[in-house]
Amino acid sequence: MLRGSACGGSPLPAAARHCPHIAASDGGMSAVFFEIRLFFIYIVILNRRYAVPTVFCYGFYSGKGIVMSSTRFNFTGAAAFFFVLLLMPLGHAAMILMEHFLQGTELNLAAFLLGAAGLGIAAAGSKMKKDSRATICGFIGGIMVWTGWIEFCYVYFANRFGIDPVIYDGEVATKPEYLLLMSSAGFWGIITALYTFRLKTGCSFYSWLQKVLGIRWGDTAERSIVMNKSFTTFMETNMILWTCYLLLMFAYDDTFLGDRHPVTIIIAFACLVWSIWLFSRLVKIREMGYAVRYAIPTVVIFWNFVEVMGRIGIMDEIWTNPIEYRFEMSMMAVAAVILLGAIIFKRSNRKRG
């Protein structure tokens, strides 16, 4: 949720307002409808088992056409979106597979090493000069740290203290580790206060919030973290995941709302609308590193809608059973690898006309 994030605020972050090649154009309603149709491809995939090869075909097509662009639509932004989107279910599936094949000390050690490797990848990315590669390292490192050090840490303490899951109709609705995660709300508030009142991060949402609160920055504003694209993306990934997890966990809690409460459903569809709005701007971005940073909050906000729909039984969450759906998950992994290769090794976009 730092520089290059799309969490809110103005239609495009400051960089876009000063760069004509990523500024929005008057593509017309046809462009908007095309973007929305593309955006819903993944929703179809979630409910149609054999539509998963569509992801592979799209990944191949995006990989070949990643430098294609027009005034209405740019495959750089779309490729970044689908790459981040594919890693969401793959990350869930990886965690479930680790819990399935590893137990006790082996699982704890693997989780620690996963987080340590993620931190190492982010650190390596901080030394890279190419913006897109540094961003990818920060994003992948952030996902690995979140899974290995945060989620599995809560898994460990939930098991150690015997915390029971929330069960509805004989099925686990909320795992105990996510019940524990709600206790981190106070720490989240402290970190959010730091970004709001101390750091000029460049995040559109924080910039909007600071403007509303009347916060003005002088020459002494802390900005060192912004210059490191890898750790900027690393922190963005973890903060947006943390924020959305807390939002959903408190919404699901019957003490506050409940998973079928009208407000919870409104939250889901509000996230869907917000993510479509962000996506319509993402597909106009031509710089890959910036597109990936913009895609992270776009995807995670969209994923709130997916999670709620899966929670109430409207969508099939195939990533929660990766062994049964190993073909579909394998196809997603292949598509993600193709997109990753296209993002890392693509040639620099030529300047327009």
pLDDT of residue 301: 95
Distance CA 196, CA 8 (A): 14
pLDDT of residue 224: 47
pLDDT of residue 199: 75
Query: In this structure, is residue 1 part of a structural domain?
Result: no
Query: In this structure, is residue 269 part of a structural domain?
Result: yes
pLDDT in tens, 21-59: 333 333 434 444 444 445 455 444 444 443 444 444 444
Query: In this structure, is residue 273 part of a structural domain?
Result: yes
CA distances from 209 to 55, 187, 192, 196, 320 (A): 37, 19, 11, 7, 36
Pull the structure tokens for residue 108: 């704890």
Burial class of residue 342, CB neighbours in 10 A (0-12, 13-18, 19+): buried
pLDDT in tens, 55-112: 444 444 444 433 333 445 677 888 899 999 999 889 889 999 999 999 889 999 999 9
Beta-bridged to residue 171, according to DSSP, are 168
Pull the structure tokens for residue 299: 């995807």
pLDDT of residue 180: 94
Query: In this structure, is residue 350 part of a structural domain?
Result: no
Contact 181, 154 (CB under 8 A): yes
Looking at every residue in the chain, the average pLDDT score rounds to 78
Beta-bridged to residue 222, according to DSSP, are 199
Residue 230 has pLDDT above 70, yes or no: yes
pLDDT of residue 341: 84
pLDDT band at 214 (very low <50, low <70, confident <90, very high): confident
Count structural domains, the chain. Answer: 1
Residue 312 has pLDDT above 50, yes or no: yes
Query: In this structure, is residue 161 part of a structural domain?
Result: yes
Q: Which of 2-6, 127-131, 262-266 has the lowest mean pLDDT?
A: 2-6
Query: In this structure, is residue 225 part of a structural domain?
Result: yes
Give the mean pLDDT of 153-161.
93
List the domain range (segments joined by +) for residue 85: 14-345
Distance CA 284, CA 276 (A): 13
pLDDT of residue 275: 95
pLDDT in tens, 103-135: 889 999 999 999 999 999 999 999 998 888 899
Query: In this structure, is residue 335 part of a structural domain?
Result: yes
pLDDT of residue 217: 65
Query: In this structure, is residue 7 part of a structural domain?
Result: no
Burial 295-312 (b: 16+ CB within 10 A, else e): bbbbbbbbbbbbbbbbbe
Global pTM?
Answer: 0.77
